[in-house]
Amino acid sequence: MAKFSLENQVALIAGGSQGLGKEFARKLYQEGTNNTVIVVSRSQDKLQRAVCSITGLETALELSEDARNLQHEQQQNRIFFASCDLAEYAQVEKLYELLAACEIVPTQVFLCAGGSTPGLFKDLSGRELDLGVRVNYMTCVNLAHIAVRKWPGSHLVFFSSEVAFFPFIGYSQYAPLKQSIKSLVAILRQECAPQRISCVYPGNFDSEGYALENETKPTITKEIEGPSDAISCAECCDRICKTLKAGYDDVTTDFIGWVLMSTDMGLNKQNNVSFGWPLQWLLGIFANLIIVPIYMLICKFQIRQWRKSCQKKN
């Protein structure tokens, strides 16, 4: 099983132009040693800005066959960008061919691409629904498929969400896809052993995506979520790295996420490797018997009151 390290790595980061993807790229480039970092997303402009922000240089290096020479001469960290729509399998195949031509074999693959558009299901557009599937699942499954076939020695780090444990009103465009990633991870751990496969379930963290999310989030969604201070992107990344270094592969970034994971652990779950998992099992039994049923009654009451207030406004 591969140990997580910030040294001597070739890291391919999907969704690397902003948010956690960009933060992992920054950490590997600025704090690591002898690393090659390749950040990938759809927007070439955003990738260039992200890389320049990380390096402090005015220009960014695009991945090309010239990178092979830089790789062979490497005595320090390198960072490249490659624009690719990971939701299109043909483009992911071209990305693999480019990496192969550059003689680059990733040792770490971070599947960070994703984004939420909160809203009631009936109010979402067809484009928003399609974008939810493409950005939150297809970007992940396409790159993962290439990785398990071509780079079996790489450490795959999937990114799901806390709402995968507790989906609720307002997240119909997002939560089902994050649950799908959780299921995919369980299956790949069975099919692709001994390849290390981790899954991160972040809570709220301050990023461009989080700010946009709050613009469309329904009031009832905010009410059920309750008050929650988003941690910084850097702090979120640090917590994930610390947990991965400790050898855990199911990672939460705050206490509520750890508790929610405990309610989701049952006899049908495969190879769950999280911090304090024996305690999570015991807590999950207690919570599912007593706490969860009461909390769900509270949620139903909140939703019923919200519906009444909506009807009065109409």
Three-state SS string over 162-221 comes to HHHCCCCCCECCCHHHHHHHHHHHHHHHHHCCCCCEEEEECCCEECHHHHHHHHHCCHHH
The structure tokens 């402009």 sit at 45
Assign 75 a pLDDT band (cuts: 50, 70, 90).
low
Q: How far, in Å, CA of 304 to CA of 298, rounded?
A: 10
Average pLDDT over residues 165-175: 92
pTM for this model (two decimals): 0.89
DSSP string, 28-50: HHHH-BS-EEEEEES-HHHHHHH
Q: Is the pLDDT of residue 114 over 60?
A: yes
Helix (H, G, I), strand (E, B) or coil at 71: helix
- C-beta neighbour count of 278 within 10 angstroms: 7
Summarised one tens digit per residue, pLDDT across range 191-203 is 998 899 999 999 8
> Are 82 and 98 within 8 A, CB to CB?
yes
Dihedral of CA 226/229/233/238: which sign?
A: negative
Considering only 62-66, 69-73, 126-130, which range has the smallest mean pLDDT?
69-73
Assign 214 a pLDDT band (cuts: 50, 70, 90).
confident
Considering only 225-234, 244-253, 268-277, which range has the smallest mean pLDDT?
268-277
Give the catalytic positions in this structure: 160, 174, 178
Q: Is the pLDDT of residue 37 over 70?
A: yes
Contacts of 69 (CB under 8 A, 6+ apart): none
**Residue 70: per-residue pLDDT:** 59
- If we measure between CA atoms, which residue out of 36, 37, 35, 31 comes closest to residue 13? 37
Q: How far, in Å, CA of 18 to CA of 21, rounded?
A: 6
Domain ranges of the chain: 10-288
Number of residues in the chain: 314
Q: Is the pLDDT of residue 71 over 80?
A: no
Helix (H, G, I), strand (E, B) or coil at 302: helix
The structure tokens 């499954």 sit at 141
Q: Is the pLDDT of residue 268 over 60?
A: no
pLDDT over 70 percentage in the chain? 93
**Residue 217: per-residue pLDDT:** 87
Summarised one tens digit per residue, pLDDT across range 79-107 is 999 999 999 999 999 999 999 999 999 99
Please give the residue that has the higher pLDDT: either 76 or 17: 17
pLDDT over 90 percentage in the chain? 62
- If we measure between CA atoms, which residue out of 238, 217, 16 comes closest to residue 111? 16
Domain 10-288 architecture: 3-Layer(aba) Sandwich (3.40)
Contacts of 229 (CB under 8 A, 6+ apart): 204
Q: Is the pLDDT of residue 72 over 70?
A: no
Burial pattern 116-137, b for ≥16 Cβ within 10 A else e, equals: bbbbeeeebeeeeeebbebbbb
> Are 53 and 45 within 8 A, CB to CB?
no
Supply the mean pLDDT for the chain: 89
Assign 128 a pLDDT band (cuts: 50, 70, 90).
very high
Please give the residue that has the higher pLDDT: either 136 or 310: 136
Q: Is the pLDDT of residue 270 over 60?
A: no
Considering only 196-200, 225-229, 280-284, which range has the smallest mean pLDDT?
225-229
Q: Is the pLDDT of residue 302 over 80?
A: yes
**Residue 304: per-residue pLDDT:** 83
Average pLDDT over residues 2-12: 93
As given in the structure block, the two tokens for residue 200 are 């991160």
Average pLDDT over residues 226-249: 90
Q: Is the pLDDT of residue 267 over 80?
A: no
**Residue 140: per-residue pLDDT:** 96
Dihedral of CA 171/173/179/182: which sign?
A: negative
